[in-house]
């Protein structure tokens, strides 16, 4: 290693910064975050630094650097645009064996400032040894995207229980296993969701228990419309922690590849009149698995609370006292419309949007037709493919013009996406001719006319369709 990584305690420690410009400001912000006592030497200060000096959050020595100013300092930073001055600062600090950083000049520095991921008290530093700072920042950006903001809360919470855990588990391996189960289980999730009191209660319960089996929990996770890039960070993290995954046919196979490799996978797909497991059995299966101490991931296409039956499932979990969490996802309607170039609202076309399901629990399509046929709105139909002919007929029967533009979007946001456009009168033939299959959404309204102009992801096929047409795949 060219540099030995180390973390310095700077609370109330005297630190000297030479320079009063924007570069110095960036270093001073970091030192302030570490609660250092800062002295700045510079003829002039930026407006922000001047305000800090007026507020007393730093001490300003107007003028130019003198070597005696480094005496008694814990840390020195040279941040001027004059290398001769920076050389003087470096030489004076090294003469007193004080760590010194000369910004963007590793040759004159005895330490360098890393790229920092701050989840205090958890802090991660990334360095390229001063050779390629941009690379260190790119690595930091990637780490920022995968390390939850709540890890800081989790670190502070865990520190409070450190002595109790040490007293409960004398064996190092047992202690390690306990912490792993805590930091990847319901306690950690409760902390990061702001439910610290519940987390404390569960932690005390775990410490008092003589059983080693951890408590189970269920996570209802929205997988989004299909494209793995549209997953939330939290969804991805839970997918990689789950012991068992319950999924259906609305979850793209690319998403399942992101689930933890050794997790048990259970298919609970439901299609109209063809349920691999009735909904009630799915609910009870989650209860049983969680009661066995397993972390259960219920992976749902789109968003769990938008025609995803998430409400029904967590009702059962709540009745049985099973801890659960709901992780929202990008709704299928939003994803499909965005990738098809169809804005759901538009000042010239639609001032409102309504989401409906193509059939109710009993299989009927008894919808609020007067509301759905109002002008200047968009209607998005979930699970309407098998009932498309009946739906289109009902729209027309209740006053919607037969030439109202419609679109059907299959496998939205994925490489298999197809967007087909037509009218209420031609949609059933369009679906039949192109062999459109689930998952697919139907969009009704004049906003569909914008698809040809605004489509950016896949070409739009326009109806009426015939078997001679060549659809985009």
- Asked whether residue 225 is marked as a ligand-binding residue, the answer is yes
Average pLDDT over residues 38-46: 97
- Asked whether residue 22 is marked as a ligand-binding residue, the answer is yes
Quick check: 96 pLDDT over 80?
A: yes
Please give the structure tokens belonging to residue 343.
């804005």
> Domain residues of the chain, as ranges?
1-113, 149-208, 217-327, 333-454
Quick check: 193 pLDDT over 90?
A: no
Of the ranges 214-223, 294-303, 386-395, which one carries the lowest mean pLDDT score?
Answer: 214-223
Quick check: 220 pLDDT over 80?
A: yes
pLDDT at 62: 97
- Asked whether residue 301 is marked as a ligand-binding residue, the answer is yes
Q: How far is CA 61 from CA 39, 92, 200, 215, in A?
A: 7, 17, 49, 59
Count the Cβ atoms, other than its own, within 10 Å of residue 344.
Answer: 22
Task: Give the pLDDT band of residue 27 (cuts 50, 70, 90).
Answer: very high
Query: How far is it, in rounded angstroms, from Cα 430 to Cα 433?
Result: 5
CATH class, domain 217-327, is: alpha beta
**Helix or strand run (H / E) with residue 371:** helix 369-372
Average pLDDT over residues 246-261: 85
Query: Which contacts of 126-132 are long-range, i.e. CB under 8 A and separated by 24 or more positions?
Result: 127/3, 127/5, 129/2, 129/3, 130/3, 130/106, 131/106
pLDDT at 364: 62
pLDDT at 467: 30
pLDDT at 171: 81
Non-local CB neighbours of 3 within 8 Å, separated by 6+ positions: 111, 112, 127, 129, 130
**248 an active-site residue?**
yes
Non-local CB neighbours of 11 within 8 Å, separated by 6+ positions: 34, 35, 36
Query: How far is it, in rounded angstroms, from Cα 208 to Cα 236?
Result: 32
Candidate ranges 212-216, 352-356, 383-387; pick with highest mean pLDDT:
352-356
Find the catalytic residue in 248, 294, 300, 400: 248
pLDDT at 470: 35
Task: Give the pLDDT band of residue 8 (cuts 50, 70, 90).
Answer: very high
Quick check: 466 pLDDT over 70?
A: no
Average pLDDT over residues 350-369: 80
Asked whether the whole model's pTM tops 0.75, one would answer: no
- Asked whether residue 23 is marked as a ligand-binding residue, the answer is yes
pLDDT at 293: 83
Query: How far is it, in rounded angstroms, from Cα 202 to Cα 182?
Result: 10
- Asked whether residue 43 is marked as a ligand-binding residue, the answer is yes
Query: Between 461 and 16, whose confidence is greater?
Result: 16
pLDDT at 472: 39
- Asked whether residue 44 is marked as a ligand-binding residue, the answer is yes
Write the Ramachandran bin of 364: left for phi over 0, alpha for psi from -120 to 50, otherwise beta. Answer: beta
Quick check: 117 pLDDT over 70?
A: yes
Of the ranges 138-147, 327-336, 345-354, 430-439, which one carries the lowest mean pLDDT score?
Answer: 138-147
Task: Give the pLDDT band of residue 251 (cuts 50, 70, 90).
Answer: confident
CATH number of 1-113: 3.40.50.720
pLDDT per position as a tens digit, 61-87: 999 999 999 999 999 999 999 999 999
Q: Which fold has domain 333-454?
A: 3.30.950
Find the catalytic residue in 105, 118, 270, 469: 270
pLDDT per position as a tens digit, 157-167: 999 999 999 99
Q: How far is CA 135 from CA 26, 113, 263, in A?
A: 19, 14, 34
Edge-first strand listing for the sheet containing 100-102: 59-62, 37-42, 14-18, 75-78, 100-102
**Helix or strand run (H / E) with residue 280:** helix 279-291
Quick check: 271 pLDDT over 80?
A: no
pLDDT at 213: 58
Q: Which fold has domain 149-208?
A: Helicase, Ruva Protein; domain 3 (1.10.8)
pLDDT per position as a tens digit, 296-353: 999 998 999 998 889 999 999 999 999 899 999 999 999 999 999 999 999 999 999 9
- Cβ-contact 226, 413 below 8 angstroms: yes
- Asked whether residue 104 is marked as a ligand-binding residue, the answer is no
Mean pLDDT of the chain: 89
């Amino acid at each position: 290693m060219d540099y030995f990584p180390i973390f310095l305690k700077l609370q109330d420690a005297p630190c000297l910064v030479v320079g009063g410009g924007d570069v110095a400001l960036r270093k001073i912000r970091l030192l302030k975050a570490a609660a250092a006592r800062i002295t700045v030497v510079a003829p002039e200060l930026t407006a922000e630094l001047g305000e800090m000096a007026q507020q007393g959050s730093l001490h300003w020595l107007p003028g130019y650097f003198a070597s005696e100013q480094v005496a008694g300092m814990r840390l020195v930073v040279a941040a001027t645009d004059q290398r001769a001055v920076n050389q003087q600062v470096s030489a004076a600090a090294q003469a007193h064996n004080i760590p010194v950083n000369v910004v963007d000049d590793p040759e004159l520095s005895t330490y360098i400032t890393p790229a920092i991921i701050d989840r205090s008290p958890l802090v991660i530093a990334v360095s390229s040894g001063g050779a390629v700072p941009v690379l260190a920042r790119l690595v930091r950006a990637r780490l920022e995207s995968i390390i939850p903001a709540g890890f800081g809360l989790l670190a502070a919470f865990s520190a409070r229980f450190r002595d109790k855990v040490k007293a409960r588990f004398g064996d190092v391996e047992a202690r390690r296993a306990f912490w792993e189960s805590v930091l990847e289980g319901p306690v950690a999730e409760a902390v990061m969701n702001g439910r610290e009191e519940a987390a404390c209660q569960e932690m005390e319960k775990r410490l008092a228990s003589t059983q080693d089996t951890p408590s189970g929990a269920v996570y209802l996770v929205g997988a989004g419309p299909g494209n793995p890039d549209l997953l939330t960070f939290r969804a991805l993290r839970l997918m990689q922690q789950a012991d068992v995954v319950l999924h259906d046919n609305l979850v793209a196979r690319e998403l399942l590849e992101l689930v933890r490799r050794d997790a048990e996978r259970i298919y609970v797909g439901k299609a109209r009149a063809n349920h691999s497991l009735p909904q009630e059995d799915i609910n009870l299966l989650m209860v049983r698995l969680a009661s066995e101490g397993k972390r259960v991931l219920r992976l749902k296409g789109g968003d769990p609370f938008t025609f995803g039956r998430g409400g029904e499932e967590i009702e059962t979990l709540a009745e049985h006292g099973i801890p659960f969490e709901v992780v929202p996802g990008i709704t299928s309607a939003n994803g499909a419309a965005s990738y098809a170039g169809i804005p759901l609202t538009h000042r010239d076309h639609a001032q409102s949007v309504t989401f409906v399901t193509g059939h109710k629990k009993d299989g009927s399509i008894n919808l609020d037709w007067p509301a759905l046929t109002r002008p200047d709105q968009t209607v998005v139909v979930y699970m309407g493919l098998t009932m498309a002919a009946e739906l289109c007929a009902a729209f027309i029967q209740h006053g919607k013009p037969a030439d109202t533009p419609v679109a059907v979007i299959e496998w939205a946001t994925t490489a298999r996406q197809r967007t087909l456009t037509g009218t209420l009168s031609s949609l059933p033939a369009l679906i039949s001719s192109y062999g459109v299959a689930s998952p697919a959404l139907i969009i009704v309204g004049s906003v569909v006319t914008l698809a040809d102009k605004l489509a950016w992801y896949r070409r739009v096929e326009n109806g009426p369709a015939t078997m001679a047409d060549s659809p985009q795949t």
